[in-house]
Amino acid sequence: MDYQNISVLISQEELDNRIDELAQQISHDYQGETLKLICILKGSIFFCCELAKRITVPVMFDFMQVSSYGKSTESSGHLIIKKELDEPIKGDHVLIIEDIVDSGNTLSKLLPMLKEREPKSLKVCTLLDKPERRTAPVEVDYNGFCIPDEFVVGFGLDYSQNYRNLPYVGVLHFD
């Protein structure tokens, strides 16, 4: 799949290698525990699956869909819960799987909300981090790649629901 308006930022091979490393670290940190992965739909689906396949401790999944974005590329500042978790997380070791931390708005609202549900632990794993864009402070426990302030698509990430199935992460050029 080649799009003229997209340039590769992180190749399939780089994604593969880094996800291997993250999974090794997570497996080590949660040794002897069962881990509940909360996949934040829809952008995290590819990352969550690839990571989970490589984690060697027992894993459970739940899914949540939140949105602070409309069809534009700027955060609206509001957090809308479009899909709730199926199960309580009380007493669970919870790892939130995100595609990208940008302004930090989503996680800075989501984390306190989930903390109130009394998980045994609550951590964040994101594939991508755009630290330059941060306006709300968020503590990220596992980060795949720090990227520059560019709008990226692929490997789950979208622009108006398009480009999610690109096997790499690419910069979308708007002109």
Active site residues: 102
| Interaction partner, residue 126 (Mg ion, ligand IMP, none; CB < 5-8 Å by kind) | none
170 touches ligand IMP by CB under 6 A? no
Structure tokens at 137: 């402070």
Window 107-166: residues binding Mg ion (CB under 5 A):
158
69 touches ligand IMP by CB under 6 A? yes
For ligand IMP, give the closer residue by CB, 92 or 99: 99
For Mg ion, give the closer residue by CB, 14 or 158: 158
Q: Tokens 């409309």 identify what position?
A: 70
**C-alpha distances in angstroms, 149 versus 134, 141, 164, 171, 172?**
10, 21, 19, 10, 12
- Dist. CA 74–CA 83, nearest whole Å: 21
Choose the binding region for ligand IMP from 30-38, 48-56, 98-106, 115-123 (rule: CB under 6 A): 98-106
Shortest distance in whole angstroms from residue 100 CB to Mg ion: 8
Choose the binding region for ligand IMP from 14-22, 28-36, 117-125, 145-153 (rule: CB under 6 A): 145-153
Window 73-92: residues binding ligand IMP (CB under 6 A):
75
For ligand IMP, give the closer residue by CB, 10 or 153: 153
- Summarize as ranges the residues that interact with ligand IMP (CB under 6 A): 43, 68-69, 75, 98-106, 151-153, 157
